[in-house]
Structure 1
Amino acid sequence: MEKKEAYQILGLSEGASKEQIQKKYNVLIKRYRMSSSDSGEKSPEIDMERVDMAYNLLMGYIVEEPSESRPYKPNPILQKMGVDEKKAKNFLYYYKFHIIGAIILVILAVFFIKDVVFRVPSDLDAAFVGEIYYSDTELFKQNVMSKMPELREMSIDAAIFAEGMDAQMEYAMNMKTVVLFGGGTVDIFLLDKASYEKFGSQGAFENLDNIAGKLKIDEEKSKDLLLKTEEDPEEHLYGIDVSDSKLLKESGIIGERIIAAIRVNAKHHENALRMLELLLE
């Protein structure tokens, strides 16, 4: 069925709005039910199967079939597989965003597995999460390693969010965030405040109360970073504001507010602590 025929079936002029289509469809359903209930049989005046098809086509729920006047050859591969081509096209049209999301997840999983299997063992793993912006993490890596010559290798990952981000990309970044926190390999996180509060309240970060004095943390500036966790009802400091870090600025990393937090039971704890000190210089 083509759109021109669909408009004719519903008795509408071409280009009718979706609101007009919906109203006319409701009228036809009501008329069909009334005539059917009076006679006890299906109304011969209204072919509801064709009405439904026309309605679904004009509302965008199914794909327009090619015109009979145009040459059309069925897909031989789908025929051999016994797949209904029409249903397959409608399925792809309706679930296209779900399929795109699944493809993105598969790609992320492949890169993650490849990274775990083939990468050189790292002495420090860092990750950016949230609304934090940069042009290239390689400069940040070089700057950190130049100040920490004891590092043989450092890895940097990210799950970056931005206002107005495409829904599928946002979904992919959410999935990547789950991987970063669930994988257990990241030693130190650099997060926006919203992400810090979300994961900090879940107990993802190390309590920094004992080293705050040594690091000369401004208690007044850090007051709003005190958090309660699911396991500890008392407030503690789990992150430090490093928004004004010289190291970050030299590396071209910016954000409205950037919080550094060390992961609970970080594998390279001493190196993570040393990087935290560098960020505060």
Structure 2
Amino acid sequence: MDDLKKAYELLGLPENASREEVERAFEIVLRKSRSRQTDAEDANEAGESEYEQKLRAYKTIIGYEDRNKIEEASRQRFKKWGKFAGTAEKIDDFFRIYKTRVIIGVIAVIAVIVGITALVNYREEQKRLAALPPVDLSVMFVGNYASDENQGGDEGLEQFMTAQFPEWKRIELTLTYVPSQSESMTQVDMAYQQKAFALLATERPDVYILDQGTFDWLANSGVFENLDSLAASDLKPLLQEDNIIKGRAEEDTEDHVYGIKVTDSPMAKELPLFMQDMIITIRSGGENRDKALHFIERYLESEAAAQ
């Protein structure tokens, strides 16, 4: 406060002088300084000229007033906190000064929590999968299919289909949506197609279930087993002309049986599944070929019994 008092005295002003009076006093100092060639003769013992002394005094006063304004604005801002205003102001100052560090710290904590949660969920999922019985048959739906959410969604569909085969403990099921084939496909539709094709290249289910459009699209992919021999032997007593779906793989010179249509089978109609067609194909080189054949036979038997 002594420095502030001296600053006012140096400018020839009372301590209650207004901001305008301080500005006018310093303007006079500036005009005098410009009218002189040098201030060397006015230098004090510290080597400061009169102008330098008064400039420092001006800065002292202005700095003090600016700080007072900021402090008053802060007091008004935190006034609503009542007796906790001081604490609220300190917290605000802390976050203002250390805001970046706080944000980085919060992000780091969130990342750790997310990582730990993901690890825990992964371990729980691994425990759940380990506790499940071995897979008797893996089935992939590829096409314009959707499970009924009111009956448990994909998991409910998997359980319902497994229940159709009491001799089995588990059918593993995957639904891969592909929109109906048309000439006016959007970029989103094409993205679904690309995803489906990638899954066909990487996943190895025992059985594919397709609608007619998807079958036509994938018939030449080479992933389906040629069913000519089965259609002429094991499946022949159960087949009608409408059940046989033919296609031509890339290496074929003529059409062959690659799919068995079971859309009209009561077992298919009972499934909690929205569908148009249900064509069963067997993956070429699949691990559970005998069970895949049994799967087809059961649906065909259901259809034959209903006729």
**TM score, norm. by length of structure 2:** 0.48
Out of 253, 260, 263, the residue aligned to residue 280 of structure 2 is: 260
CA-based RMSD? 3.8
Aligned to 1:156: 173
Query: Aligned with 1:230: secondary structure?
Result: coil
Q: What is the rounded CA distance, in whole Å, between the counterparts of 2:299 and 2:287 in structure 1?
A: 19
2:259–2:279 contact (8 Å) kept in structure 1: yes
- CA apart distance, 1:247: 1.5
Query: Aligned with 2:161: secondary structure?
Result: helix
Q: What is the rounded CA distance, in whole Å, between the counterparts of 1:131 and 1:165 in structure 2?
A: 14
CA 1:144–1:222: 2 relative to 1, 3 Å: closer
Query: Aligned with 2:276: secondary structure?
Result: coil
- CA apart distance, 1:261: 0.5
1:241–1:259 contact (8 Å) kept in structure 2: yes
Larger Rg: 2
1:180–1:186 contact (8 Å) kept in structure 2: no
- CA apart distance, 1:178: 2.9
Q: What is the rounded CA distance, in whole Å, between the counterparts of 1:165 and 1:279 in structure 2?
A: 33
Q: State how 1:37-186 maps to structure 2 within 5 Å.
A: 120=132, 121-135=134-148, 136-162=153-179, 167-168=187-188, 171=191, 173-186=192-205
Q: Which digits, 9 at most, give the CA deviation of each residue in 1:41-88, with x for residues without a partner?
A: xxxxxxxxxxxxxxxxxxxxxxxxxxxxxxxxxxx79xxxxxxxxxxx
Higher helix share: 2
Q: Which digits, 9 at most, give the CA deviation of each residue in 1:78-110, with x for residues without a partner?
A: xxxxxxxxxxxxxxxxxxxxxxxxxxxxxxxxx
Aligned to 1:201: 220
Q: Which digits, 9 at most, give the CA deviation of each residue in 1:150-209, with x for residues without a partner?
A: 4232211111134699855762x3344134312242111111112112222122111111
Q: What is the rounded CA distance, in whole Å, between the counterparts of 2:270 and 2:249 in structure 1?
A: 34
Query: Aligned with 2:172: secondary structure?
Result: strand
Query: Aligned with 1:238: secondary structure?
Result: strand
Q: What is the rounded CA distance, in whole Å, between the counterparts of 1:149 and 1:118 in structure 2?
A: 20
Is 157-166 or 184-193 further displaced after alignment?
157-166
**TM score, norm. by length of structure 1:** 0.52
CA 1:274–1:144: 2 relative to 1, 3 Å: farther
CA 1:178–1:228: 2 relative to 1, 3 Å: closer
- CA apart distance, 1:139: 3.8
Count of residue pairs the alignment pairs up: 174
Q: What is the rounded CA distance, in whole Å, between the counterparts of 1:169 and 1:232 in structure 2?
A: 28
Aligned to 1:233: 253
Q: What is the rounded CA distance, in whole Å, between the counterparts of 1:211 and 1:205 in structure 2?
A: 13
Aligned to 2:239: 217
Q: What is the rounded CA distance, in whole Å, between the counterparts of 2:161 and 2:193 in structure 1?
A: 27
Q: What is the rounded CA distance, in whole Å, between the counterparts of 1:169 and 1:240 in structure 2?
A: 26
- Unmatched runs of 5 consecutive residues or more in structure 1: 1-75, 78-110
- CA apart distance, 1:256: 2.3
Q: What is the rounded CA distance, in whole Å, between the counterparts of 1:145 and 1:231 in structure 2?
A: 35
Q: What is the rounded CA distance, in whole Å, between the counterparts of 2:294 and 2:179 in structure 1?
A: 29
Query: Aligned with 2:141: secondary structure?
Result: strand
- Of the two structures, which has the highest relative contact order with CA contacts closer than 8 Å and spacing of 6 or more? 1
Q: What is the rounded CA distance, in whole Å, between the counterparts of 2:190 and 2:175 in structure 1?
A: 13
Q: What is the rounded CA distance, in whole Å, between the counterparts of 1:194 and 1:279 in structure 2?
A: 21
CA 1:165–1:152: 2 relative to 1, 3 Å: farther
Aligned residues: percent identity? 27
